[in-house]
Structure 1
Amino acid sequence: MELSTKQTIMTIVYYGGSVEFFAAIMTLLILATVIGLWRREIMWGYVRVLEGFANTVGRFFAWAGLLMVLQQIMIVFLQRIFRVSEISFGFFAKDLSWWSEELKLYNAMIVALCATYTFVQGGHVRVDLIYSGVSHRTKRVIDMLGSLLFMMPVAVLTWMYAWYFLWRHLITPKPSATDTLDKLMLKARAVRWNVETIGFSPNGFNAYFLFKVLLLAYCGLIFLQAVAFFYRSFLEFVEGPESEGKYLDKDTLGEGEEAFEGTH
């Protein structure tokens, strides 16, 4: 790699987990909130876009569950019945153990990329001792505090750890969260790609850096959903019970299946 390319990589490494990046995101968030307070229909637009994004991503990657099942069936048939030890697609040929361990990636996709979709759909399990018995406005206050004090901070902290966790398995010398930009520029002279390719078995799945990418995607989606949840809770607090569930795009089982919906 040329020195300029190496310096670009180190700049990305630094700013992706930096205070400056966090400050820029929060500045944009505060500005968007001020605009939304000025015109509530704009804030509802934020909610619809962010929840729509979570739904779109979740609905797409939920198909990984079907793919996981079909691939597992194929592996069982090839291994137990046809005694095949390898699956190849053109120049891409891997041992059956590789395809078997790769199933964990589909599971990780569902967990990481469908979490916010499940949140929008109200599908997460809730342990509720107080929430159901309080008034509409009190619920919205609890929701706003939950998004500000729990969802956002956890997403930011997890991102900070995940960001450097990813890059330490992509390049060498390994970057550290305590490295300044100047120190990373010095390291840039010796930087080279060192993508993690170690599997748990000799012929097993070896692209475990993808799990670290998914962890970052999960943090980003959770942060965006925390913003959407705060905005929705605030708007429902201001506009009253009649606005509850406004513009909410929830899946349905179809006509005649209403009794089964929401029972999870």
Structure 2
Amino acid sequence: MDDQIECSGFFAAQTEETISCLDKFQSSGALQWVSGNILEAFYSFGYAVTHPGSWLAWVGGLDTPEDKQSMMKFIFYGASVEFFFVVFTIFLLVTIAGLIWRNFMWRSVRFLEGFANMFGRFFAWAGLIMVLQQIIIVFMQRIFTRSEIALVYGVDFLTFDVSWWSEELKLYNALVVALCCTYTFVQGGHVRVDLVYSAVRFRTKRVIDMLGSLFFMMPVALVTWLYGWFYLWRNLVVPNVSAWNYDLDQLLTRSRAMRWNVETIGFSPNGFTAYFLFKILLVTFALMVFLQAIAFFYRSYLEWKEGPESEGKYLDKDKLGDADAELAANIH
């Protein structure tokens, strides 16, 4: 406290000592803020686990004011500082455990990469479905001159205009892009913009990969999540929810008027009416990229630690079954 008074006495002079002292208190305050939020994350996580009704009561419906408040809490905390520090604290604990027990970190890598591969291999079939559906649309329009296509013959609520099915093709493309992105990353299918990477040593490459995952992949995924989360809910409920304009108490007050308002407006009168699914995919994409960034950071660290002989260790890559295709994939 005496140091703080001593510093404040020089504010008018704007000397170098004043600036240095101010920087010291700013950095100290930031450190206290981060450490305080990390400690609070243990309480936040414990409370969320032991009191699921406080933020999941809305799953059964929005029948009571308590249900509406629980949904508002779910939306608010889904992109809040508290949630960020819960995730950050879990990441720190898993990383510390992995540094102590290397096999645990390898298991984490295999689990996260297996998660990406599982989703990617399943939703990659959306590309085939998209092609087959486009063929059916062409046949129904040009040959049979039908204006409607029924998913199940004779069922009215599964019968849509041809333009609905045409616009719905975008959903398959979005499935491939959003849910196969991390799968493609694990398989090494993304194009790398290489300026110095190929010319440096093995361990230097791993350092570049670690920095890229920490300072590029994670921040981009985080920003995408923050914007995508409220963008999603603004197309699902009213009134509009934004943690940037209201605090939690204000949002809980607004929750009395909350109701479902799922976006069903297409780009054309008879067009696709489930564009809210694209918002869900945006949030899912951000989550999967963030998890893959963690896996990539761990793998890069482990390969840096263990040396060139660990490159590609436990990596579950697809077998193309053709020597030329395998060579082209490795070159790419």
Q: TM-score range, shorter-chain basis?
A: over 0.9
The farther-off stretch of 67-76 and 5-14 is 5-14
**Residue 98 of structure 1, aligned match among 158, 164, 187:** 164
Q: Are positions 1:48 and 2:75 aligned together?
A: no
**Residue 291 of structure 2, aligned match among 224, 229, 238:** 224
User: Contact conserved, 2:266 with 2:275, CA < 8 A, in 1?
Assistant: yes
Q: Are positions 1:186 and 2:253 aligned together?
A: yes
Question: 1:202 maps to what in 2?
Answer: 269
TM-score by length of 2: 0.78
Displaced runs of 4+ in structure 1, greater than 2 A?
A: 255-261
How far 1:255 moved relative to its partner?
A: 5.5
Distance in 1 (CA, whole Å) between partners of 2:322 and 2:237 is 53
Query: SS state of the match for residue 17, structure 1?
Result: coil
**Residue 75 of structure 1, aligned match among 133, 137, 156:** 137
How far 1:105 moved relative to its partner?
A: 0.4
How far 1:35 moved relative to its partner?
A: 0.5
User: Contact conserved, 2:230 with 2:242, CA < 8 A, in 1?
Assistant: yes
Distance in 2 (CA, whole Å) between partners of 1:14 and 1:260 is 47
- List alignment gaps of at least 5 residues for structure 2: 1-62
- List alignment gaps of at least 5 residues for structure 1: none
How far 1:259 moved relative to its partner?
A: 3.0
User: Contact conserved, 2:179 with 2:285, CA < 8 A, in 1?
Assistant: yes
Distance in 2 (CA, whole Å) between partners of 1:101 and 1:119 is 28
Question: 1:121 maps to what in 2?
Answer: 187
Corresponding letter in the other structure for 1:39: W
User: Contact conserved, 1:253 with 1:261, CA < 8 A, in 2?
Assistant: no
How far 1:261 moved relative to its partner?
A: 3.1
**Residue 313 of structure 2, aligned match among 240, 246, 249:** 246
Q: Which has the larger radius of gyration?
A: 2
Distance in 2 (CA, whole Å) between partners of 1:238 and 1:262 is 24
Q: Are positions 1:173 and 2:173 aligned together?
A: no
Distance in 2 (CA, whole Å) between partners of 1:77 and 1:167 is 38
How far 1:221 moved relative to its partner?
A: 0.2
Aligned residues: percent identity? 65
Where relative contact order (Cα < 8 A, 6+ residues apart) is larger, the structure is 1
How far 1:256 moved relative to its partner?
A: 3.8
Deviations 1:140-166 (A, max 9, x none): 000000000000011001100000000
How far 1:185 moved relative to its partner?
A: 0.6
Distance in 2 (CA, whole Å) between partners of 1:242 and 1:219 is 32
How far 1:92 moved relative to its partner?
A: 1.2
Deviations 1:74-100 (A, max 9, x none): 000001000111112223111010000
Distance in 2 (CA, whole Å) between partners of 1:3 and 1:171 is 15
User: Contact conserved, 1:54 with 1:225, CA < 8 A, in 2?
Assistant: yes
Deviations 1:35-79 (A, max 9, x none): 101100000000000000000000000000000000000000001
Corresponding letter in the other structure for 1:261: A
Question: 1:263 maps to what in 2?
Answer: 331
Distance in 1 (CA, whole Å) between partners of 2:170 and 2:189 is 22
How far 1:129 moved relative to its partner?
A: 1.6
User: Contact conserved, 1:252 with 1:261, CA < 8 A, in 2?
Assistant: no
Distance in 2 (CA, whole Å) between partners of 1:203 and 1:256 is 48
Residues paired across the two proteins, number: 264
How far 1:2 moved relative to its partner?
A: 1.8
Corresponding letter in the other structure for 1:189: R
Question: 2:215 maps to what in 1?
Answer: 149
Query: SS state of the match for residue 320, structure 2?
Result: coil
User: Contact conserved, 2:76 with 2:248, CA < 8 A, in 1?
Assistant: yes
User: Contact conserved, 2:213 with 2:293, CA < 8 A, in 1?
Assistant: yes
Distance in 2 (CA, whole Å) between partners of 1:116 and 1:154 is 14
